[in-house]
Structure 1
Amino acid sequence: MKASQLRARYWRIVFFFGRVTLGFIFWEIIARRIGLGGVARRNRSERNRQTAVRFRALAIGMGGLMIKVGQFLSARLDVLPPEITDELAGLQDEVPAESFEAIRALAESELGSPLAEHYASFDENPLAAASLGQAHRACLREADAAEMGFAEVVVKVQRPHIEAVIEVDLAALRRVGRWLQRYRPIADRVDVSALLEEFATTTRAEIDYLAEGSNAEAFAENFADDPRVHVPHIAWELTTRRVLTLEDVSAIKLGDYDAITAAGLDRSKVAKVLVDTYMKQIFEDGFFHADPHPGNLFVTPLAGNDAEGHRNWQLTFVDFGMVGRVPENLRSGLREAVIAVGLQDGARLVKAFKTLGVLLPSADLKLIEMASIQVFERFGGMSMGELRDIDHDEMMRFGLQFRELMLNLPFQLPENLLLLGRSIAVLSGMCTGLDPEFNLWGSIAPYATKLVSDEGGSTWGTILAEGTKIFQTVIGLPARTDRVLTMIERGELNVQTPMLELRVRRLERSVGTISGGLVFSALLVAGAILYGTDAGLGTGLMGASALPLVWILMRGRGRHMGRG
């Protein structure tokens, strides 16, 4: 690819996102200040659709990382409006194919000889064209098929010049990231540069097919005893860094909901098994598939029916270029949250948030504690469907009570939660698409006890130990009271006024939905840790997860709430 083409690509990406950024600033910030807030609200849906249309054209025309961005957005059915997700839904199937001559040349260069010497047949028409590579069906030679146990394969070949394209796309995104970093509400919450570098690292790993094959085998080993899950076998003799040959496991795409229903499968069970597999990946294996968009997941119908008369099936995972591991500090933070809720200790719950790294330094800790208590009392134990059906007036009353917290959700996006948060977000969207009434509470309970036991000791034993610490604190209260009175007498007692700072930072709400979604996910999982062993305590923490969720719902249904 010529240098002039790469430069043109760079500036096209920069100009597109620059236009989107300027449009957002005008309609979501300036318009409200000049009396056009009503117009901005009425036209928001059409503006979103037009932006999605333009981005879709950009992604299809350019490929590369733009396709990956679109794939992620199209799966966010739970957060993004339908005018965006519907417009981007077809991206996974509309990536333009590379010419077979270019694919053949690269594959033969990697394998060291003509394709005919390695495969009995090789279909020139691509099975699928992805952002970084292209897949073709082929058949192994008879001797190789007998040795490996399968004859039909898919050969994944990297797109020519993709490494140069990736570097140009990353450079353009870095420029956009520097713009975003100048916007204080974003800069205070997210280290955009660090996130882009993490994205760059994972993207570069995706174009190493040797690493992808190893990831697939590790994943398959983790699910070797689970007949519900299948991973394609790798033909290592025909695999290099830029060519990957694996068993053909093509079936129904997870996002093809009508086809799943037509095949006689229970979509709600598919959603449940999908969540089950991810809970195992996260809590038991600590190793998870980090790119779970519908194009990387298939449902394979099998012979026979289950007890309810639905056809048997198998969940197949492909594309292990992007994998992640559960960070240790996340486990620690979740455990602290469990203890805090069990003891009704709001301060300890705030400490858990800090351990997770999701609180801004300026967060009003007391206000968060008060809001959490109110959430426990009102929303604890409610299902996702019940939360969606909460009366709008009640949501407004709750929001007005904690207005400053809702408008300035004091959470940030830590870098070490990027892959896990992204996977949970996409997983949530797919489950919503499969079954809008799907309830996550019970599905994650079987893996909750495992996390507790891994951290050591029983839940009640831990809570008893924490109760002892509280007793010791109570004993020391007289001395602490005396010290406070002494400070007052000396004029040394300082009182913080975080509400003033919160009012100054109201513009932070523009990035609050992303952070709120991550905190909701963390609290939800933490609540499930107790659900399997103690429903009362587990329900309490799951109720706490409703705080950021209610805020997100209010953004969609209560944007007309007045400004203070």
Structure 2
Amino acid sequence: MTSVHRERADPKARAGDHRARYRRILRFAAWHLVVTWWFELFLPRIGLVRISERTRAKRMRRFAQRFHVLAVSLGGLMIKVGQFLSSRLDVLPPEITKELEGLQDEVPPVPFAAIRTLAETELGAPLERLFASIEETPIAAASLGQAHRAKLRPDDAAATGLESVVIKVQRPGIDAIVDVDLAALRKVGGWLSHIRLVSDRADMRALVEEFAQTSLEEIDYLNEGANAERFGVDFAHDGRVDVPGVVWEQSTRRVLTLEDVTAIKITDAKALLAAGIDPVEVAPVFASVMFDQLFTTGFFHADPHPGNIFVTPSTDPSAEHPWKLTFIDFGMMGEIPPSTRSGLRKLLIAAASRDGKGLVAAIRNVGVLVPSADTVELERAMTHLFARFGGMGFAELREVDPREFREFAVEFGDVVRSLPFQFPENFLLIIRAMSLTSGVCSSLDDRFNLWDSVEPYAAQLLREERGNILQDAAQQALDAAGMALGLPKRLDGLLTRLEDGSLAVANPRLERQLGRLERTARRSASALLFGALLISGSVVRADDMVLGNVLMIASVLPLLHGLWAGRSGL
């Protein structure tokens, strides 16, 4: 019996499955929060930092393996969470990203009988009456739906100008699964929002809601069809980009019929070379097209992984471009407001010119830093970063001594963690899009240097913004005048501090906060353990009352320790 039939026949069983799914996600999250606290906070606190460091790679790999199993087993949004983690090459260790790479394609297909039932219900007629033929074996199976090749009937082909199409059908029951997954993610986000180290950096509830909105839009295929057409309009006059047409007459919220544009997968180097296309030449074009979306049109493909981009050789020998980049799957799209896009353009220009101070100012303008953040140390770290590693490609970076990377990462990480970061709307999608873009380009050319694509694009942006040069010059003159007027007072203060010996070479805020941090750390560690044990016990208790009660009782010990530590630090 198919899953659709089972759900219709036994709603109580369906509800029980959903409860079990919800609890399984929470148990996984609670357990790994406890493990992370134990190794990353508690052991270093009692002088066992070497144990934490020695076991970190193994623990990260084990976590990724277990999450991989969980995601494949559950499907739904857990696959999407894993895909996001696998794309975060910039912040997550390779032990995690490498293990989760397979989640881009590794999803078991739904039997065609269940797909047929859903599609015919949505379209209101047997598939044989709507299509000349349809392949029962899917060409792609994703976490939310799967795709089958088909051919339109002659009259429909004549009306649309299309013959070969792809029918994209949602997985049966995916609406309810998405609701369960979002409820679990909201619960985990609530837990994380009570951890100060996390809540000081990001509004976890807001991030989960942003993910929820994106996910709900992704399972609305009418929305995806509209996105495809809008994207096509943005690049209608760009010979480098192609977009599939939409057959609206045979599309609904759960079924989408598109032009079949299947071609060479963008990372299939052998197929590209066989078609006379050099992969090295594809990388900068792809990067430039993604830059156009992020910095010019403001409407961008937020899921540009290799399975969603084809390289299509041109059949017209007189075409301006011998091949095109064909984008598919427009369910996950991002839109950048003009104000944020302006800040991103300034950020790109500052990065291309290796301007550490300008880059930090652009980051603040984008809204990633709260206005009150003290950025002096961040500016210094960025300047150091550009001076040492700026302009290097991935192949060159691999030749740098790993110890130098570690030393800089420790210093830079301390600076970043000390600042109050926040995430504006759609910023996670921007990060995802750029992370995937960088990964695809590096797979096409291991010596690909992002700066080679950034610099000419930044120069183009500068030319476009020359109309504002007088305004910028006037603003710089005002800034210079303000600095000149305030200089005598600042010099007088500096001399006074030199005379009384109060001038510190290190960050003066750091010295004042060390004692407070020492006291807070003791209370935070105990409070975190108390919360982790209490939450874990409440989650586990539903399935194992004895173990759950033990964990909840044990949470009293760190609570008492936290109260004692707080008093002793006063």
State the TM-score, normalized to the length of structure 1.
0.77
**Pairwise CA distance, 1:51:** 2.0
Choose which of 405, 411, 432 in structure 1 pairs with 2:442.
432
Aligned to 2:540: none
Deviations along 1:74-131, one digit per CA (max 9) or x if unpaired, are 3445554444333323323331222222211211111111111110112222222111
Bigger CA radius of gyration: 2
Aligned to 1:170: 182
Aligned to 2:476: 467
Tell me, yes or no, if the aligned pair for 1:207 and 1:242 is still in contact at 8 Å.
Answer: yes
> Which moved further from structure 2: 371-380 or 248-257?
371-380
Choose which of 316, 321, 334 in structure 2 pairs with 1:324.
334
**Pairwise CA distance, 1:407:** 6.2
Q: Distance in 2 between matches of 1:319 and 1:346?
A: 37
Alignment map for 1:484-495 (pairs within 5 Å): none
Q: Distance in 1 between matches of 2:487 and 2:126?
A: 85
Aligned to 2:431: 421
Q: Does 1:12 align with 2:24?
A: yes
Describe the SS at the equivalent of 2:253: coil
Deviations along 1:24-48, one digit per CA (max 9) or x if unpaired, are 2222222323444333333333322
**Pairwise CA distance, 1:431:** 1.9
Tell me, yes or no, if the aligned pair for 1:190 and 1:414 is still in contact at 8 Å.
Answer: no
Q: Distance in 1 between matches of 2:111 and 2:348?
A: 55
Describe the SS at the equivalent of 2:139: strand
Tell me, yes or no, if the aligned pair for 1:283 and 1:447 is still in contact at 8 Å.
Answer: no
Tell me, yes or no, if the aligned pair for 1:106 and 1:160 is still in contact at 8 Å.
Answer: yes
Letter in 2 for 1:56: H
Q: Distance in 2 between matches of 1:239 and 1:11?
A: 35
Q: From the superposition, tell whether residues 195 and 497 of structure 1 become closer, same or farther in structure 2 (CA, over 3 Å).
A: same
Choose which of 343, 355, 363 in structure 1 pairs with 2:365.
355
Q: From the superposition, tell whether residues 403 and 295 of structure 1 become closer, same or farther in structure 2 (CA, over 3 Å).
A: closer
> Which moved further from structure 2: 83-92 or 111-120?
83-92
Q: From the superposition, tell whether residues 383 and 153 of structure 1 become closer, same or farther in structure 2 (CA, over 3 Å).
A: closer
**Pairwise CA distance, 1:413:** 3.1
**Pairwise CA distance, 1:149:** 2.1
Q: Does 1:499 align with 2:539?
A: no
Describe the SS at the equivalent of 2:312: strand
> Which moved further from structure 2: 86-95 or 138-147?
86-95
Q: Does 1:249 align with 2:280?
A: no
**Pairwise CA distance, 1:145:** 1.3
Q: Distance in 2 between matches of 1:466 and 1:379?
A: 31
Describe the SS at the equivalent of 1:457: helix
Aligned to 1:278: 290
Q: Distance in 2 between matches of 1:341 and 1:444?
A: 8
Q: From the superposition, tell whether residues 502 and 222 of structure 1 become closer, same or farther in structure 2 (CA, over 3 Å).
A: farther
Letter in 1 for 2:281: K
Deviations along 1:511-537, one digit per CA (max 9) or x if unpaired, are xxxxxxxxxxxxxxxxxxxxxxxxxxx
Q: From the superposition, tell whether residues 256 and 37 of structure 1 become closer, same or farther in structure 2 (CA, over 3 Å).
A: farther
Q: From the superposition, tell whether residues 364 and 113 of structure 1 become closer, same or farther in structure 2 (CA, over 3 Å).
A: same
Describe the SS at the equivalent of 1:265: coil
Letter in 2 for 1:69: V
**Pairwise CA distance, 1:258:** 5.1
Aligned-residue Cα RMSD (Å) equals: 3.8
Aligned to 2:539: none
Q: Does 1:26 align with 2:38?
A: yes
Letter in 2 for 1:85: T
**Pairwise CA distance, 1:193:** 0.4
**Pairwise CA distance, 1:194:** 0.4
Tell me, yes or no, if the aligned pair for 2:114 and 2:172 is still in contact at 8 Å.
Answer: yes
Letter in 2 for 1:430: V
Aligned to 1:127: 139
Letter in 2 for 1:405: V
Q: From the superposition, tell whether residues 248 and 296 of structure 1 become closer, same or farther in structure 2 (CA, over 3 Å).
A: same
Q: From the superposition, tell whether residues 407 and 285 of structure 1 become closer, same or farther in structure 2 (CA, over 3 Å).
A: closer
> Which moved further from structure 2: 315-324 or 426-435?
426-435
Q: Distance in 1 between matches of 2:355 and 2:282?
A: 38
Q: Distance in 1 between matches of 2:311 and 2:424?
A: 34
Tell me, yes or no, if the aligned pair for 1:292 and 1:426 is still in contact at 8 Å.
Answer: yes
Aligned to 1:535: none
Q: Distance in 2 between matches of 1:209 and 1:167?
A: 17
Aligned to 1:117: 129
Q: Distance in 1 between matches of 2:223 and 2:286?
A: 24
> Which moved further from structure 2: 112-121 or 12-21?
12-21
Q: Does 1:155 align with 2:167?
A: yes
Alignment map for 1:290-309 (pairs within 5 Å): 290-302=302-314
Structure 2 residue runs of 5 or longer lacking an equivalent are 1-6, 8-13, 522-570
Higher relative CO (Cα under 8 Å, sequence separation at least 6) belongs to 1
State the TM-score, normalized to the length of structure 2.
0.77
Q: Distance in 2 between matches of 1:400 and 1:288?
A: 33
Aligned length: 500
Q: Distance in 2 between matches of 1:449 and 1:347?
A: 19
Aligned to 1:457: 467
Aligned to 2:546: none
Q: From the superposition, tell whether residues 10 and 152 of structure 1 become closer, same or farther in structure 2 (CA, over 3 Å).
A: same
Letter in 1 for 2:338: E
Q: From the superposition, tell whether residues 362 and 180 of structure 1 become closer, same or farther in structure 2 (CA, over 3 Å).
A: farther
Q: Distance in 1 between matches of 2:163 and 2:71?
A: 35
Q: Distance in 2 between matches of 1:82 and 1:380?
A: 22
Describe the SS at the equivalent of 1:153: strand
Structure 1 residue runs of 5 or longer lacking an equivalent are 509-564
Deviations along 1:440-469, one digit per CA (max 9) or x if unpaired, are 12213444355446656255x455323311
Q: Distance in 2 between matches of 1:338 and 1:56?
A: 35
Q: From the superposition, tell whether residues 21 and 266 of structure 1 become closer, same or farther in structure 2 (CA, over 3 Å).
A: farther
Tell me, yes or no, if the aligned pair for 2:295 and 2:345 is still in contact at 8 Å.
Answer: no
Q: From the superposition, tell whether residues 339 and 470 of structure 1 become closer, same or farther in structure 2 (CA, over 3 Å).
A: farther
Letter in 1 for 2:476: G
Q: Does 1:221 align with 2:221?
A: no
Tell me, yes or no, if the aligned pair for 1:188 and 1:360 is still in contact at 8 Å.
Answer: no
Aligned to 2:247: 235
Q: From the superposition, tell whether residues 253 and 328 of structure 1 become closer, same or farther in structure 2 (CA, over 3 Å).
A: same
Deviations along 1:305-327, one digit per CA (max 9) or x if unpaired, are 99xxxx95432111111111223
**Pairwise CA distance, 1:215:** 0.9
> Which moved further from structure 2: 268-277 or 75-84?
75-84
Q: Distance in 2 between matches of 1:401 and 1:241?
A: 50
Q: From the superposition, tell whether residues 389 and 407 of structure 1 become closer, same or farther in structure 2 (CA, over 3 Å).
A: farther
Aligned to 1:97: 109
